Structure 1
Amino acid sequence: MAGTRTESFNSTSGMMESENVGNSSGGGGGEMKVAEWIEHTTIHPREVDDKVSFCKLFKDNFIYVMTYCCSFGSFGVCVGFLGPTVFDLGCQTSSDQKQMNWVFFVQLIMTLVGSISAGCLAQSVPTTESDQPSSLPNHLMMLGSGIGVSLAMFVIPACNSLGTLLFVLMIMGWCMGCLDCLANLRMILLFGKHVSPFLQAMHCFYGLGAFVSPMIASAFLLNKDCSPFIDGFTIETPVELHKPTTEGSSSSTDNTSHVTLHIAPQPQRVFRYRHMSRVPMAFYILGALQLSIALLVAYVVFLEKFRGLKPKGLTFETHEFHHPHVSPPSKKFSVDDIKGRLRDFIGSFGPRETILVTSFTCGSLFLFDGLQSSFANYIYTYAHDSHLEGLQKYEGAVLDACFWGLFALGRLIAVPVASRLSAAFMLMVNITGCSIALLLTLIFRWSHVMIYLGTCGVGIFVSSMSPTVMSMCEQYIDINHTITTCLVVVAALGEALCPIIVGNLVVNVGPTSFLAFCLSFSLISIILYWVLLLYGRQTPKYKASKPDSFIWLSGKQLVLEGESTLIKPNSVKYYSRMEDSDSNPDLANGANHSRTFSIEEK
């Protein structure tokens, strides 16, 4: 062609702008230009061998990874300390065990509230000059939450009543929910589709925190149940009644009856047990540990604010607008317009496949975290109340330590495994192994050895279920702030509600119902897994990636031909890929698509 033609599509006005410089060749030449423009801008995916170096990603972003992992470990410390210390806290607050059950519920419910509020606040984070969400406000929220949980640890020994203890745990639970939501969100946004091993590592720190916390506390526990001395108790003593002999009888008959004695409450014994306990020292140690993690977050905030710290070696994408088939949701809404808010919230999810994949993932997380929380909280009760031959009451603490120890080990093993195996295959192995372990434990529940083997099996297989299903979800859709909030909130909901259901079953039906409940959750999760897998494979993002193997991670990445030479990522905010079509390419009629690009043809 004799001249240069510059064509650009303006997403603001919705019209195609054309500018001819030099000579043009008439109408026929214009049609040829249109055909060439469509051919030149059509995206042809090709695959190249470009193995992702997870070690390099870790080295380049070491400070971020360790900060998020330690923050999530702080969340695990808060989850693990309450169970072993519940007896000592009951003596400290003069509360029986029925009243102390509220501390678990309040902490978990406030964790749910904290997750929701953190997700809403994270969604309103301002963007930087490069149109990327700033991480500094999220890190400031993490810093405040870390300081909050450490201060709560220091204040708990001063709580002399159940009301003050519940208030402190409410604050701690809210901070825990913020740490849970923000750590998951920042890690996913940091690594995107390569997040799987890093997410496993972060959840491994959760297991370590939940394992270390009771180990530290156990050295200072009195472990004495003060409930009988708070409420009083009754005892039955046998009394022998001698029936006098009658005439003609050669012997007397002895009858035994039981006399019930009521023992009044003994506050002096509760006072003595309270001062015998050294549990405040455990809380001071845990509080100092939490404060050190908060200082690490403060260091990251300092580096970002004054030293310009930024992630390295990554091409950031605003996941909220990355989906190629959805227009960006409007950020302008009226405070009084409730319908507008609902439209913005629903629009932030994306199209129908995104909503369905998110729903299936939420259901899976509800089952996984509910199973994990129920088993961790009631394996001690099962060992205490099952009256299994050869199983001592103190072994409940040993079983609890076995579960959390293998839980941490399982997440540690999952870190290198996640860089080699696909998330779908890992999740299938985890669910199958957990179901088999629970089934064998239920069948051979009279076996002392099988209880230990089943507990270890459940701990190691359930450990990486939650991070793996989140990685699996990331392969099917792009996870944004709203989706992350929903995932974390539903997981926290399962973690809060399922132990309450199990507790009622254990009281009304018996301790064996605890194993039956966990097995039913595991079997339901198998069905939900296959639904998520089959539907997720139909999503556009999965079809574009085309993995080579169901088991192994592919070393190939998708490269879009013609896109990198025409579109500069720094200058593009949103764009949609043009789909192949045999229809008449009327450029003016394509104004409803959100594209911002410019093409030069000679």
Structure 2
Amino acid sequence: MTLLDERLWSLFRRNWRQTLTYWSVFFSFGLCIALLGPTILDLRCQTQSSLQQITWVFFSQQFFLLVGSSVGGLFKKTLLSSLSALLSCTFIISVVFAIIPLCHHVVLLSIAMAIAGKAMGLIDTIANLQLVKLYQKDSAVFLQALHFFIGLGALVSPLVAEPFLSEDSCVVLSNRTTNSSSSPDLEHLRSSLAGQGAALHNMSQYHLYTEGVIITSVAYAFWIMALINLPVPAAVLALMYHERLLPCCRKSPCLLEKDSLSSTSPAVDHVEGHTSVFGCCNPAKLRGHPATFFILHALGGAILFITDGIIGSYAGFIYTYAVSPPLLMGHKAAGCLDSVFWAAITLGRLAFIYLSCRYTAPRLLTFSLVGVILVQCLLMIFYTSSVFLFFGTFVLGLCISSVFPSMVAYTEDLLDYKGCATTVLVTSASTGEMMLQLIVGSVIHSHGSYAFLLCCTVASFIGFCLLLLLIFVQHIHRNGHTDSRESMNMKENPSTGGS
């Protein structure tokens, strides 16, 4: 174990500038993805739009995040294009934060969030790809740390926003001093809307005023976040300067290209195969691979489709479940569940940084998915206990936290770092997070809140079965790959029997 720790520490020392830069851009990703939820009601007042209109801003962000994830691999061709894209995306996020307070129409706000979503999707794919390229077979622990920084950013942004949120209605009618008496509890609405617009289907029951005097200080939260995020593009720019990738220092060779080529295995030559998720379907690139090669891509993507979908659905609907019968929790207590869930995910990823050094990715994935199934089964059994709901939410966050980084590291290792695995996995995860929320929301709307736990539990069983199938297929893939290599060696070195 000591030798393993020394080797990982040596790799980190060799690539610490790049690694810290990729971790920082994921912090920027977390800042952006978590700030919209708590501020959405103040933004509704700012744009003087209805709840039904403002919640489409969530869809705009999520859809273009999916688009950005799908095309992010296009910027993987060279280090310069990757870092240039990260520099642009992180700077765009700061610019979007700065201009959101100036968007006084819901269409303009949707466009701004679409731009931010596209930048977030590119960051998601490029940072994962670059860390896999740098560390390859040792990438699991560094990917765990990478995804820890999403949670860190997601914890910081609501804390910054909290002091600037309106405690009462932020639209005051001209003929009265306040309209709070006719408005629903704002904490209740914020918690309902916190899950990336998951409550879109159930907003028709609420009526909030759209005309009147706007009283909100939320602009300061976005401007502060724009300033907090500015060091991230500065860090990317500093890395580009250090590696002599800027026009002012192009005369010298690029150090990072040399270091990464010398510090990785020969398989790095194949990493250039990464492209957009659409380019992965190019028939010219599909020839010569066994069927198991594509099945592994599909299974890995399907597992992340389900697990990231569970994360999005749980974060989106746990509040709705808690305030509905039979629990009927108070709005403030139920609103803490989402924070508990995300805090557990962040702590889990921090813990799995250590566990990734000790155990293989298949073991961690098996442990995580079995834990997710057990917790959700217990939540269904003790569905009347508010205390167990908090406990189960925390343990569920811990268990599911490591699935994404572990699956990326595991799948890339199975495919020898020469396919489109990371692009496919990131895109599948983004798709699952968006689609499963819509499916679960529709089921809850038609069958009641208890169907929420049932949907997540069924999805967990499906995900675990897909993992078992993935492990089975990887044995077939590895055996077939070994047999093909042995046959190639026999052709190149025929026996000289009788000598």
* Rounded Cα–Cα distance in structure 2 between residues aligned with 1:582 and 1:296: 52
* Rounded Cα–Cα distance in structure 1 between residues aligned with 2:282 and 2:431: 22
Deviations 1:454-491 (A, max 9, x none): 11011111111111111221231123463321111111
* Rounded Cα–Cα distance in structure 1 between residues aligned with 2:38 and 2:443: 22
SS of equivalent residue, structure 2 residue 445: helix
**Cα shift at 1:443:** 2.0
Aligned to 2:232: 293
Does residue 107 of structure 1 match 2:53? no
**Cα shift at 1:339:** 12
Does residue 579 of structure 1 match 2:488? yes
* Rounded Cα–Cα distance in structure 2 between residues aligned with 1:534 and 1:57: 32
What letter corresponds to residue 370 of structure 1 in structure 2? G
**Cα shift at 1:50:** 8.1
What letter corresponds to residue 355 of structure 1 in structure 2? F
* Rounded Cα–Cα distance in structure 2 between residues aligned with 1:112 and 1:433: 28
What letter corresponds to residue 467 of structure 1 in structure 2? P
Aligned to 1:89: 43
**Cα shift at 1:51:** 7.9
* Rounded Cα–Cα distance in structure 2 between residues aligned with 1:542 and 1:419: 29
**Cα shift at 1:219:** 2.4
SS of equivalent residue, structure 2 residue 243: helix
Does residue 469 of structure 1 match 2:411? no
Structure 1 residues 222, 405: CA separation in 2 closer, same or farther (over 3 Å shift)? same
Aligned to 1:364: 303
**Cα shift at 1:73:** 1.9
What letter corresponds to residue 44 of structure 2 in structure 1? G
Instruction: Give the one of 423, 427, 445 matched to 1:489.
Output: 427
Instruction: Give the one of 270, 284, 288 matched to 1:344.
Output: 284
TM-score, normalised by the number of residues in structure 1: 0.69
**Cα shift at 1:204:** 0.8
Deviations 1:50-82 (A, max 9, x none): 887111111111111111111112112221112
Aligned to 1:243: none
**Cα shift at 1:164:** 0.6
SS of equivalent residue, structure 2 residue 135: helix
Structure 1 residues 577, 50: CA separation in 2 closer, same or farther (over 3 Å shift)? farther
Aligned to 1:138: 82
CA contact (8 A) 1:97 1:227 kept: no
CA contact (8 A) 1:115 1:489 kept: yes
Instruction: Give the one of 484, 489, 502 matched to 2:440.
Output: 502
Does residue 204 of structure 1 match 2:204? no
Does residue 174 of structure 1 match 2:118? yes
TM-score, normalised by the number of residues in structure 2: 0.82
Does residue 444 of structure 1 match 2:393? no
CA contact (8 A) 1:68 1:202 kept: yes
Aligned to 1:414: 352
* Rounded Cα–Cα distance in structure 2 between residues aligned with 1:542 and 1:226: 64
Aligned to 1:116: 70
Structure 1 residues 234, 393: CA separation in 2 closer, same or farther (over 3 Å shift)? closer
What letter corresponds to residue 346 of structure 1 in structure 2? L
What letter corresponds to residue 342 of structure 1 in structure 2? N
Aligned to 1:314: 263
CA contact (8 A) 2:169 2:180 kept: no
Instruction: Flag structure 1 segments of 5+ consecutive residues without an equivalent.
Output: 1-48, 126-133, 236-262, 323-327, 332-337, 545-575, 587-602
Structure 1 residues 439, 584: CA separation in 2 closer, same or farther (over 3 Å shift)? closer
* Rounded Cα–Cα distance in structure 1 between residues aligned with 2:234 and 2:112: 21
What letter corresponds to residue 25 of structure 2 in structure 1? S
Structure 1 residues 179, 382: CA separation in 2 closer, same or farther (over 3 Å shift)? same
Instruction: Flag structure 2 segments of 5+ consecutive residues without an equivalent.
Output: 174-178, 183-205
Does residue 66 of structure 1 match 2:20? yes
CA contact (8 A) 1:136 1:304 kept: no
* Rounded Cα–Cα distance in structure 2 between residues aligned with 1:533 and 1:227: 56
Deviations 1:395-451 (A, max 9, x none): 233111111111100000000110110111111111111111112222212111011
What letter corresponds to residue 375 of structure 2 in structure 1? A
* Rounded Cα–Cα distance in structure 2 between residues aligned with 1:175 and 1:464: 24
What letter corresponds to residue 39 of structure 2 in structure 1? T
SS of equivalent residue, structure 1 residue 302: helix
What letter corresponds to residue 55 of structure 1 in structure 2? W
CA contact (8 A) 1:411 1:463 kept: yes
SS of equivalent residue, structure 1 residue 479: coil
Aligned to 1:433: 371
* Rounded Cα–Cα distance in structure 1 between residues aligned with 2:6 and 2:478: 22
* CA RMSD after TM alignment: 3.3
CA contact (8 A) 1:320 1:478 kept: no
* Rounded Cα–Cα distance in structure 1 between residues aligned with 2:439 and 2:280: 37
Instruction: Give the one of 157, 160, 174 matched to 1:216.
Output: 160
CA contact (8 A) 2:100 2:109 kept: yes
* Rounded Cα–Cα distance in structure 1 between residues aligned with 2:337 and 2:438: 21
CA contact (8 A) 1:476 1:541 kept: no
Structure 1 residues 227, 344: CA separation in 2 closer, same or farther (over 3 Å shift)? farther
CA contact (8 A) 2:411 2:421 kept: no
* Rounded Cα–Cα distance in structure 2 between residues aligned with 1:182 and 1:493: 17
SS of equivalent residue, structure 1 residue 507: helix
Instruction: Give the one of 446, 469, 491 matched to 1:531.
Output: 469
Deviations 1:573-596 (A, max 9, x none): xxx77634389949xxxxxxxxxx
* Rounded Cα–Cα distance in structure 2 between residues aligned with 1:149 and 1:476: 34
Structure 1 residues 380, 286: CA separation in 2 closer, same or farther (over 3 Å shift)? farther
SS of equivalent residue, structure 1 residue 81: helix
Structure 1 residues 339, 67: CA separation in 2 closer, same or farther (over 3 Å shift)? closer
What letter corresponds to residue 270 of structure 2 in structure 1? F
* Rounded Cα–Cα distance in structure 1 between residues aligned with 2:359 and 2:126: 26
Structure 1 residues 321, 480: CA separation in 2 closer, same or farther (over 3 Å shift)? closer
Does residue 478 of structure 1 match 2:442? no
* Rounded Cα–Cα distance in structure 1 between residues aligned with 2:121 and 2:314: 21
Q: Which moved more, 1:280-289 or 1:447-456?
A: 280-289
Does residue 373 of structure 1 match 2:312? yes
CA contact (8 A) 1:537 1:543 kept: no
CA contact (8 A) 2:412 2:421 kept: no
CA contact (8 A) 2:75 2:126 kept: no
CA contact (8 A) 2:299 2:470 kept: yes
